[in-house]
Amino acid sequence: MIRSKKLSSNKIAHGFFNKLGGKYKGIYKSLNCGLGSKDKKTCINKNLKIVKKKLSKKSSNIYLAKQIHSSKYIYIDKDYSKKLKRIEADAIITSKKLLPIGVLTADCVPILIADKRNTIVAAIHSGWKGAYKGIIEKVIKFLKKRGYEPEK
């Protein structure tokens, strides 16, 4: 797991994972967390537990959206009490404490945005199609409406 010094210094739990650390064999011999892959769901769920455990021992799950190379995002606020459904989006924004969120990438770029006050975080999956459609700008615009100050 790779950590950012800047995010760590602001006490923001995070991690960037590569394919190492999974427990399985064959073509999915990796830390495959892709629910849309043809890997066995039990293997994917075990890999997700490995990731979640490294990020937060206090949370029971990690939230991932079904990524579609779009400019869609989902916001999960502090009061969100419904069972989290896996929806189609390329960014997840949350102000809910102890809710690990994430995006999966291969040749796309993962972008993690957080404020120093630890009140809101965003995980963005940015491929060329999402970047062209404005996913990064849309997320930043949403964050600004919520009081996020880019300089912080």
Q: pLDDT (tens digit, 0 to 9) for every residue of the chain, 152 residues total?
A: 889 898 888 888 888 998 888 877 788 888 999 888 888 889 988 999 889 888 877 777 788 999 999 999 999 987 765 566 778 999 999 988 888 899 999 889 999 998 877 678 999 999 999 999 999 999 999 999 988 888 77
CA-wise closest residue to 142 among 88, 80, 93: 93
Report how far residue 105's alpha carbon sits from residue 145's, in angstroms, rounded to the nearest whole number.
Answer: 27
Q: Say which CATH architecture domain 5-145 belongs to.
A: 4-Layer Sandwich (3.60)
Predicted TM-score (pTM) of the model is 0.88
Report how far residue 117's alpha carbon sits from residue 115's, in angstroms, rounded to the nearest whole number.
Answer: 5
- Distant-in-sequence, close-in-space partners of 36: CB < 8 Å, separation ≥ 6: 66
Task: Note the pLDDT of residue 118.
Answer: 64
